[in-house]
């Protein structure tokens, strides 16, 4: 039981990091797009 409980949080943390990185990239792209559209108006 101890081994499984040690592995699962680690796998969960890796997946959270992956999702977090992709969310940050999307957030930065959205900010750039908004700034460009505001300049164009």
- Confidence (pLDDT) at 5: 57
Give the H/E segment covering residue 41: none
HSE value, Cβ hemisphere, 13 Å, CA-based, for 13: 6
Task: Report the sign of the C-alpha dihedral through residues 13, 14, 18, 21, in that order.
Answer: positive
- Confidence (pLDDT) at 7: 67
Average pLDDT of every residue of the chain: 79
Domain boundaries, the chain: 1-41
State pLDDT tens for residues 14-26: 988 898 898 888 8
**How many whole angstroms separate alpha carbon 28 and alpha carbon 9?**
28
Listed in order, strand segments (DSSP E) in the chain are: none
Residue reference for tokens 């990185």: 21
Does the pLDDT at position 1 exceed 70?
no
pLDDT confidence bin for 31, thresholds 50/70/90: confident
């Amino acid at each position: 039981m101890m081994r499984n409980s040690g592995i699962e949080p680690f796998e969960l943390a890796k997946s959270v990091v992956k999702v977090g990185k992709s969310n940050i990239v999307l957030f930065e792209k959205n900010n750039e797009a908004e700034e460009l559209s505001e300049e164009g108006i």
